Amino acid sequence: LQTQPYATIERMNLSGAVRNEVAGLLHSYLARLLDRELKSTVLLEELYRQSVPSISSMSA
């Protein structure tokens, strides 16, 4: 799960600076979610899967 968001960002055609910013925002957002409410990696994974259905079906 840890590397999934970054792999997704890599697939997008973004400049390095934008990609780093997006990765940082996504990382802190997921970390905040995890700290506040989600203690289970399974829940976080499911949430991620629902938010990016096209990527999930590609890797499924």
Q: Looking at this protein, which amino acid is placed at residue 39?
A: K
> Does position 8 have pLDDT exceeding 60, yes or no?
yes
Q: Output the pLDDT for position 55.
A: 54
pTM of the model: 0.34
CA distance 39 to 14: 32
Could you tell me the pLDDT band of residue 58, with boundaries at 50, 70 and 90?
low
Q: What is the pLDDT of residues 27-44, one digit of tens each?
A: 888 888 777 765 667 777
Q: Which residues contact residue 23 at a Cβ distance below 8 angstroms, ignoring those fewer than 6 apart?
A: 5, 6, 9
pLDDT surpassing 80 at residue 25: yes
Query: Where exactly are the structural domains of the chain?
Result: 4-59
Q: Could you tell me what percent of the chain has a pLDDT over 70?
A: 55
Residue 2: closest CA among 38, 44, 43: 44
